[in-house]
Amino acid sequence: MGSASANISTSGSSVNKGESLLDTARTIDMMGTDIIIMRHNQSGAPHFIAPYLKASVVNAGDGMNEHPTQALLDMLTMYERFDTFEGKNIAICGDIYHSRVVRSNAIGLKKLGANVSVYGPKTMMPIGIENMGVRIADSVADCIKDADAVMGLRVQLERQQKSLFPSIAEYAKFYAITPEMLALAKPDAFLMHPGPCNHGVELPTAVYDCDQSVINEQVTNGVAVRMAVLYLLMARRNQL
């Protein structure tokens, strides 16, 4: 798109020397940056720095809070298949608690009129998620039944150490989206995953590669959505 970009990660930057997030952000800002695209492990980190900067801040994922462009690309992928979102059933299975993808999708899909069902081990279900306008399903089967689109979520394997699930084998047996589970969705339903995927954990490889899978298309749509975000944001900045 003709812009110049620079990548800054915490390793190899002054963050390693104890620089505060605000100081780092101000430094980048003062270099004449137009847009800071920020991924941060703390929820609310972009909300925190944005008021202090001249640059626009794009939230590329903040902690467990939101991943807005992922939800936009997910919705674009659905939009290419749906005539309308109104009344469509979207099933999301996996680690709901830690997922910023779920939160952004719940907000966006609800706005578009879709019904969202979520399911995961109770240890990974956040209290009060139903107040975000989603339905809490009773099982993977209940979640997926009659769905128009099914979304798997990555489960971080190290969560076993915090007793959120006992073993990969058990997770794969009781919580994965198997071919049998996917068969409960509507016949023309399709399968999504924000990636990266743990093959054989939340999705068997056969499901990942099945005809209903649009996971690779999501990646392509991600480029388009992010280009659009940058394009629209720069257009707005140039007007100011």
Partner 1 sequence: MKLILKNAKKFNEDKTSNIYIADGKFAAEFAEDQADRVIDLKGACVTPGLVDMHCHLREPGGEYKETIKTGTASAAKGGYTSICPMPNTNPVADNAAVISGIMKKAKEADNCRVYPIGAATKGIDGELISEMGLMKEAGIVAVSDDGHPIKNAGIMRKVMEYASDFDLPVLNHCEDKSLSEGAMNEGTVSTTIGIRGIPTAAEDIMIARDIILSEYLNIPVHICHVSTKGGVRMIRDAKARGVKVTCETCPHYFTLTDDCCETYDTNFKMHPPLRTEEHKQAIIEGIKDGTIDAIATDNAPHHADEKVCEFSVALNGILGFETAFALGYTYLVKTGEISMAKLIDLMCYGPSNILKLGRGGMNIGDDADLAVFDLENEFTFDKEKMLSKSRNTPYDGWKLYGETLLTVMGGKVTYEKLC
Q: Which residues bind partner 1 (CB under 8 A)?
A: 20-22, 40, 42-45, 47-48, 62-66, 100, 103, 126-129, 131-132
Q: Which two tokens stand for residue 151?
A: 């979304």
SS3 14: helix
Shortest Cβ distance from residue 99 to partner 1 (Å)? 9
Shortest Cβ distance from residue 61 to partner 1 (Å)? 10
Nearer to partner 1 by C-beta: 43 or 178? 43
Nearer to partner 1 by C-beta: 21 or 233? 21
**DSSP symbols for 132-189:** GT-EEPSSHHHHHTT-SEEEE----GGGGGGTSSS-HHHHHHHTS--HHHHTTS-TT-
Shortest Cβ distance from residue 84 to partner 1 (Å)? 26
Quote the CA–CA distance of 182 and 208 in Å, as a whole number: 11
Nearer to partner 1 by C-beta: 61 or 148? 61
Q: Which of 57, 58, 46, 126 is nearest to 92 (CA)?
A: 126
Shortest Cβ distance from residue 59 to partner 1 (Å)? 11
Nearer to partner 1 by C-beta: 21 or 168? 21
